[in-house]
Structure 1
Amino acid sequence: MLCVFWLQKLTNNFSNSRPDAVIPRCLGSITSALSCQMRVFVAVVMVVSTEVDGDRRRHYTACWINTRSRPARHNIRARIAANVSDKALPIRGVQVSSAKINGIDLHYQRYGEGDAIVFAHGAGGNLLSWWQQIPFFSQRYQCITFDHRGFGHSLDVPEGPGAASFVDDLRGLLDHLDIESAHLVAQSMGGRTMLGFAVKYPHRVRSLVMADTVGGMNVPAVVAEQHNWAATHTASGEIGFRAVSPLFVQRNPNLANLYLQISRTNPPRHMPPDGLPAGPGTDELKNLNIPALFFVGEDDQISPPQVIAAGAKAIPGSKLLRVPEAGHSVYFEKPDIFNFEVLRFIESAEKSA
């Protein structure tokens, strides 16, 4: 017997609730409704908050899930992305290599075929960080991951330029791979690479995803929010501990430990005495005509929502997604939501190009 639950009335009843309250209430209603042994198709609704040019609104991320009666809530959540199947997704066309770029051996991996998506990791990771994205996106796209200079297997030269060379390193990698243009996906520190590249080479960027990062923007509103946050919050401990939310650690101790161990595979590095170079300023960003999507976890303790919101406003037409129950690593903590929303954004950017 086939049952279809139409949840429009349910979601309307919860329309004035916080997103993090709606999700468990929706799932609870679905669970209680499934009282007999049968296979059903259920429309599950995830609620995320969206901002476009400062106008905040919520939208419902819906997908159909094939399940059985009385499913555990975590089983539904684990399959929330529309394209996730019951079977493990194969990884297509794997190429592991390195290229001589700007005086170093830049380590990279390439998967799949088609239009290119390039993923830039944060300071707490390396190319291993994208293990939950590559099987998903490589089904339809050519996916490039790489170790930033000074991370993973991409060792910097003694007294090398470090982060100051990130943008030029990315350009060299794309040239080496004969990729003229690509969709760029950045996490945290990787935002400096991707935003800097987008400003310098906008004709080579098809879309830009900035996850928990403002890419070092030298914008007064962003800098002010960062200073306000730093004045009232003290950072302590290595980044592997701070980059995920306490709730994620409590619910997923094994994955939290994996995040930490990936971070610890990086070689020792030292912060430049003058700090990281400043990123693009207001004038450079206001003329950036590239589809841009910002993510922020509502529990982010490194780049909090108010900082990311200020950064999103600096790029005209950009969108901001606030994800409940996530910290500084939405891509790692909530991969199903992240993958689904990034895919939808990229598809929209391709249609409007």
Structure 2
Amino acid sequence: MSSYAAPSRTVGRLKRPFGNLYYEVSGSGPALLFAHGLGGNHLSWWQQVAHFAPRYTCVAFAHRGFAPSDPVADGVDPADYAGDLAALIDHLGLSDVRLVGQSMGGWTMLEYALAHPDRVKALVLSSTSGTLDRRGSDPSGGTDYDKWFGASEARIAAGLARGIHPAMGEHAAERFPALHLLYRSIDEMAGALDKEKLRAGLRRTATRTLAGLKTFRVPTLLIAGAEDVVFPPFLASAIATSLPCGEAEIIQDAGHSPYFEQAAKFNELVDAFLARQH
């Protein structure tokens, strides 16, 4: 008979001013928290939690407005995300944390790390620059960003016409149809959430400059997919070289969701990065 024992898992709801914030805690060890993107929720991290829970206390949550967290009557403001994370970390009594944010989740994780740098051992930004202004982070002065943006908008429109979710992309949908179906299903769990309004809020709050992060010494890994049509992958390296403790990795056969479509490679990169932090 097998002696395997699944990692411990608990489910909770934290009372916040908007309502209840849903979270799950799996495993044991140093704290590792995950913040999902616009098309996700806590379930987005199923491949990461299963991998890391034997060695880390994994915390996955659903941002306010994303089921099973409570909806927000007048819409979601991403400026509230870092405060929700801070309350959750305090509620769980975590003294130091490692943070992983995908796309929209980068707003949450970067802002928390900037506000509490002494509590963050490591930060992973996947397919995101968080609250940094994207075009302003382009070393070409915006030329490369503008060229990339025009091409990506056309590719997104062509994909949507064929039922392809931009966060997966054409190649991922073709290679991994089951993952594409699962991604779309998780995305649809958000129900009536106005994601276009939320996208506008994300753009409004992405105003930080690289110059403003010149003293930011939290070890930071930026991961991007070379086929991404939502986040310009070349910005990962550009931003990493501008940070005091930054590094970047580009996954060639991945789009906007490398954690989802190339989980083994993503987990390997995060594993190695976390192992280098003490």
TM-score range, shorter chain: 0.7 to 0.9
Match of 1:149 among 64, 68, 80: 64
- Name 1:290's counterpart in structure 2: 218
**For residues 1-353 of structure 1, what are the structure 2 equivalents within 5 Å?**
91-218=6-133, 220-222=136-138, 224=142, 225-234=144-153, 235-236=156-157, 237=160, 241-270=165-194, 271=197, 275-276=201-202, 277-350=205-278
8 A contact 1:293–1:321 mirrored in 2:
yes
Instruction: Give CA deviations for 1:23-74 in whole Å, capped at 9, x if unaligned.
Output: xxxxxxxxxxxxxxxxxxxxxxxxxxxxxxxxxxxxxxxxxxxxxxxxxxxx
Identity of aligned pairs, percent? 34
Partner AA of 1:163 in structure 2: P
State how far apart, in whole Å, the 2-side matches of 1:183 and 1:264 are: 28
Q: CA deviation at 1:346?
A: 0.5
Higher helix share: 2
Partner AA of 2:40 in structure 1: G
8 A contact 1:147–1:154 mirrored in 2:
yes
State how far apart, in whole Å, the 2-side matches of 1:302 and 1:90 are: 39
Q: 1:138 to 1:204 in 2, by over 3 A?
A: same
State how far apart, in whole Å, the 1-side matches of 2:221 and 2:228 are: 17
8 A contact 1:196–1:280 mirrored in 2:
no
Q: CA deviation at 1:340?
A: 1.2
Residue aligned with 1:98, SS: strand
State how far apart, in whole Å, the 1-side matches of 2:198 and 2:270 are: 33
Q: 1:341 to 1:272 in 2, by over 3 A?
A: closer
State how far apart, in whole Å, the 2-side matches of 1:273 and 1:218 are: 14
> Which structure: larger Rg?
1
Q: 1:157 to 1:111 in 2, by over 3 A?
A: same
Unaligned runs of 5+ in 2: none
Higher strand share: 1
Residue aligned with 1:145, SS: strand
Q: CA deviation at 1:268?
A: 2.2
Calculate the TM-score normalised by the size of structure 1.
0.69
8 A contact 2:78–2:198 mirrored in 1:
no
Q: CA deviation at 1:286?
A: 1.1
State how far apart, in whole Å, the 2-side matches of 1:272 and 1:186 are: 17
Superposition RMSD on alpha carbons, in Å? 2.2
Calculate the TM-score normalised by the size of structure 2.
0.87
- Name 1:34's counterpart in structure 2: none
Q: 1:137 to 1:172 in 2, by over 3 A?
A: same
Residue aligned with 2:276, SS: helix
Q: CA deviation at 1:254?
A: 1.2
Q: CA deviation at 1:256?
A: 1.2
8 A contact 2:103–2:128 mirrored in 1:
yes
Q: CA deviation at 1:161?
A: 4.9
